Amino acid sequence: MAQIEVRNLSIEYRLPKGEGTFTAVDSVSLDIEAGEFVTIVGSSGCGKSTLLLAIAGLVPIADGTLTIDGDAVEGPGPNRSVVFQEASLLPWKTVLGNVRFGLEMRRWRQGDLSKRAMQYINLVGLGSFADYHPHQLSGGMRQRVNIARALAVDPAVLLMDEPFGALDAQTREVMGDELLRIWERDRKTALFVTHDIDEAIFLADKVVVMGRNPGHIKDVIKVDLPRPRRGEMLDSDAFAEYRRRLRAHLAADMATMHLVREAV
Amino acid sequence: MVAVAATAPQKRVPEPARLGAGARSSVIGFCSVAAFLILWQVAPEMGWVNGRFTSQPSEVARAAVEVFRTDNFLHHARISLTEFFLGFALALVVSVPLGVLLGNSRLARDIINPPLMALYIAPTLILLPIMTIWLGIGMASKVAVVFLGAIFPIIVNTMAGMREADAKLVRAAQSFGATRMDIFRHILLPGSLPSLLAGIRLAVGRAVLGVVVGELYVSQAGIGHQLVVYGSSMRVDRLLVYALVVSVFGYAMTTLVRVLEGRVRNWRPET
């Protein structure tokens, strides 16, 4: 049995002013094994973030089943934590306060919270910035805090919703390396949503490609590159082949989108 | 940690050039006040203006000494201060919880919003004659006017602060299992504090106005009462002393709230 099992999952949003519902995710099935690093890639509007938020328990499901370790997901739970796209840090708390906040909300009881928070702040390389407020940090540093906050509560599954989406290309690459370095320590199950093809391949054991109208899974591609991953791999023939396949999928999705527009 | 070293924190460093500019403007400010005082002192003696109407800095200074020594100043000040602080405290006790409720309950908003906005926009001093009819010419009617003047800016701003809560922060807290109470305590409350304090700052001005105008309208004691007394006897020097007292008090209270606002906002990027 896979750790995360998604079966025929549909998610609907209610449109404003009672104009019915919008299907964001349509009958999706997916298995994620324990310790697997899975990325979801797709163009905007394909429901990839919605699927992740449903697994986080933050979005209600309309149909189908969603289980983690055999238990149906009915809301946020202590076995999952989320790193959001924008660093959703409390602006009035320091780096330390923000990482502690996650532990406090989880009602963490084992040992000293500050000590544990500091341990994870050090892990993401911000040890000397513990007393800074979020507005004093760069975008990359804020996301490091977010990652520290998510890891400190010791989740079985780490969910990341385009965490590096707002960062510049260089910072993004550095953060990808860092994330893998941290992930290699205990290899928790990780689900990572992105619209960046290279990022999706570089991080993943398995890339899930999603398409839109309505959101569905087009393909699941296993990535057989050795770990630990290195920057040079981006230039390898194997990487180029994965990139070509993913591009073809996404280009097809864009083309149908175009046709739909013209038909309307 | 090469990346960390590369992304240095964005610390604000005061620009040296600006310090010089600040010193210069305070010198200019001081000179202009000094020039005004000299002109004011000299003008009546030169016969440019009638000193009976304008008074003089030296006379005002002498009047100040008289007022503080012999005019029962502390008695009147105590009455006005009591009206101010009693009315303001009552306003805080009522308006903050009400603002929180209105910010969080759509039903409460729908019920209370129309009359609330009407009262917020109208100057509450229009209710002064009614308060006097209901509560008499003593302190109670002034306390009521201060209360009414202070309550609406605080309610409206607290409500706005609650409603401006960042949905992303709420969602993040929920993902860690925060309860409704946790979200209120850790996100809504601190998030709305700057807005609440801005409301309090507005309320201070309205409350000072309420005390003075309330006493001017009808009273037996208080700073406003003294203004009536010296107005009818044309004591411009003493009127100016009392005007100065009121303005210093208002300024001090506003500054106090600003200091609190500054403390609360120190986590914020400058806006």
Q: In 10 A of CB B157, how many CB atoms?
A: 23
Are residue A123 and residue A234 in the same domain, yes or no? no
SS3 state at A252: helix
Burial class of residue A127, CB neighbours in 10 A (0-12, 13-18, 19+):
middle
For the domain bounded by B55-265, which CATH number is listed? 1.10.3720.10
Last residue of a domain, one of A137, A154, A171: A154
How confident is the model over B63-83, as a mean pLDDT? 91
Interatomic CA distance for residues B196 and B97, integer angstroms: 11
Token pair, residue A161, equals 């919703």
- Check if A122 contacts B (Cβ < 8 Å): no
Are residue A169 and residue A234 in the same domain, yes or no? yes
Q: Does residue B155 contact residue B116 with C-beta atoms inside 8 Å?
A: yes
Are residue A69 and residue A162 in the same domain, yes or no? yes
Token pair, residue A207, equals 């890339």
Is a pLDDT exceeding 60 seen at residue B11?
A: no
Question: A94, A135, A157, A164: which to substitute to probe chain B, counting the most B Cβ within 10 Å?
Answer: A135
Name which of A106, A135, A171 is nearest B268 (Cβ-Cβ): A135
- What strand order describes the sheet that includes A4-14? A21-32, A4-14, A63-68, A71-72
Last residue of a domain, one of A106, A126, A154: A154
Helix and strand counts by DSSP (H, E) for chain B: 13, 0
- Which ipTM was obtained for this model? 0.86
Are residue A128 and residue A254 in the same domain, yes or no? no
Neighboring chain A residues of B269 at a CB cutoff of 8 Å: 135
- Check if A140 contacts B (Cβ < 8 Å): yes
- Check if B32 contacts A (Cβ < 8 Å): no
- Check if B10 contacts A (Cβ < 8 Å): yes
Are residue A167 and residue A128 in the same domain, yes or no? no
B236-265 helix and B223-232 helix, angle to the nearest 10 degrees: 150
Are residue A120 and residue A192 in the same domain, yes or no? no
Are residue A230 and residue A140 in the same domain, yes or no? no
Mean pLDDT of all residues belonging to chain B = 87
pLDDT for the residue B118: 86
Last residue of a domain, one of A120, A154, A188: A154
Token pair, residue B29, equals 């400010």
Q: Does residue A193 contact residue A39 with C-beta atoms inside 8 Å?
A: yes
Angle subtended at Cα A61 by Cα A55 and Cα A64, rounded to the nearest 5 degrees: 95
pLDDT for the residue B17: 54
Are residue A166 and residue A246 in the same domain, yes or no? yes
Interatomic CA distance for residues B109 and B155, integer angstroms: 11
Token pair, residue A37, equals 């690093």
Are residue A226 and residue A239 in the same domain, yes or no? yes
Neighboring chain A residues of B268 at a CB cutoff of 8 Å: 91, 135
Beta-strand pair A189-194/A37-41:
parallel
Are residue A45 and residue A148 in the same domain, yes or no? no
Question: B1, B2, B4, B187: which to substitute to probe chain A, counting the most A Cβ within 10 Å?
Answer: B4
Phi first, then psi, for residue A164 (nearest 5°) are -110, 15
Give the pLDDT confidence of B14-57 residue by residue, as tens digits.
555 555 778 888 999 999 999 999 999 999 888 888 888 889 89
* Residue-range definition of the domain harbouring residue A96: 82-154
pLDDT for the residue A10: 92
Q: Does residue B222 contact residue B75 with C-beta atoms inside 8 Å?
A: no
Phi first, then psi, for residue A172 (nearest 5°) are -60, -45
Neighboring chain A residues of B171 at a CB cutoff of 8 Å: 58, 84, 88
Name which of A56, A125, A136 is nearest B10 (Cβ-Cβ): A136
In the block, residue with structure tokens 């002034």 = B142
Interatomic CA distance for residues A46 and A12, integer angstroms: 13
Q: What pTM was computed for the model?
A: 0.78
Q: Which CA distances in Å does B152 have to B92, B113, B204?
A: 10, 11, 12
Q: For residue A102, which of A137, A150, A143 has the smallest C-alpha distance?
A: A150
Residue A198's domain is classified under what CATH number? 3.40.50.300
CB contact under 8 A, B268 and A125: no
Are residue A244 and residue A115 in the same domain, yes or no? no
Per-residue model confidence as pLDDT tens for chain A (264 residues): 788 999 999 999 888 777 788 888 998 999 999 999 999 998 888 889 999 999 999 999 999 999 999 899 998 989 999 999 877 899 999 999 999 999 999 998 888 899 999 999 999 999 999 999 999 999 899 999 999 999 999 999 999 999 998 888 888 888 999 999 999 998 999 999 998 999 999 999 999 999 888 888 989 999 999 988 988 898 999 999 999 999 998 888 777 665 555 544
pLDDT for the residue A43: 85
Structural domains of chain A, count: 2
Is a pLDDT exceeding 80 seen at residue B5?
A: no
Are residue A216 and residue A109 in the same domain, yes or no? no
| The one-letter amino acid at B201 | R
